Amino acid sequence: MSEKRVIERAKREKRKGRAPSTQAGEFVREEIRHVREGVHGARSIKQAIAIGLSKARRAGVDLPPPKQGKVPERTRESAERAYALGHGAPYRRPPSAKRKAAITRALKREPQGTASPQALSRQARAAAAKRSAAERSEAAQKAVLTKGPGERAAAARKAARTRARRG
C-alpha cells in the first residue's frame, strides 16, 4: 500500500487543480525511489512508471486507462481493473500470502539500476519525441493555467537555462 504522505501529496495536487497525470506523478516518484533504494527492482524504467500509475489508479486518482490500440490489451485491461478498484468497484479479495510473496520475490529479482537518472532522462526524451511540437506546446499552455506567479517565474528561468545550454 502506498505511503500516507504520497496519498496526501496527490490530494494536495488535486486541490490545487492539477491534472490527474500530475497527481499520479507522486506515485510514480515513490516507485522510482523504491527501485533506487532496493525495495524491489524493475526490468525497465517503463515498468516502474507502470507500477506507479497502477498504484495511483487504485488510490482513486482520476487517471483513465489508455485507449484501445495505444498499449497492449493486457495492459489496458489491468489499468481498467485498477481504475475500477479506486473508483468504488466491489471489494476484491487481496492476493493470498503465497501469491503476494511470489510477486515480491519476482520484483526483487529484477535489476535495481534501471531507475538511474540517465534511464529516466532517456525515457522522458523518448516519450517527448513521440509527441508533436503542437502537442507539447498545448500541454505547456495547460500547465500555465494551474501555476501561480512564483511557479511561472521558476519555469521561465528553467526554460531560459535549457535554451542557453542547447544554444
Domain ranges of the chain: 1-91+110-130, 132-167
Q: How far apart are CA 64 and CA 31, in angstroms?
A: 19
The C-alpha cell at 35 is: 527501485
Q: How far apart are CA 117 and CA 110, in angstroms?
A: 18
The answer to whether 31 and 52 have CB atoms below 8 angstroms apart is: yes
The residue written with cell numbers 500516507 in the block is 4
User: In this structure, what DSSP letter does residue 32 have?
Assistant: H
The answer to whether 101 and 76 have CB atoms below 8 angstroms apart is: no
Record the pTM. 0.81
- Three-state SS for 138-156 is HHHHHHHHHCCHHHHHHHH
Mind listing the pLDDT tens digit of every residue in the chain (167 residues)? Answer: 468 899 999 999 999 888 899 999 999 999 999 999 999 999 999 999 999 999 999 999 999 999 999 889 999 999 999 999 998 888 778 889 999 999 999 999 999 889 999 999 999 999 999 999 999 999 888 888 888 899 899 989 999 999 999 87
The residue written with cell numbers 529479482 in the block is 109
The answer to whether 125 and 100 have CB atoms below 8 angstroms apart is: no
The C-alpha cell at 86 is: 479506486
Q: How far apart are CA 63 and CA 26, in angstroms?
A: 13
pLDDT computed for residue 2 by the predictor: 63
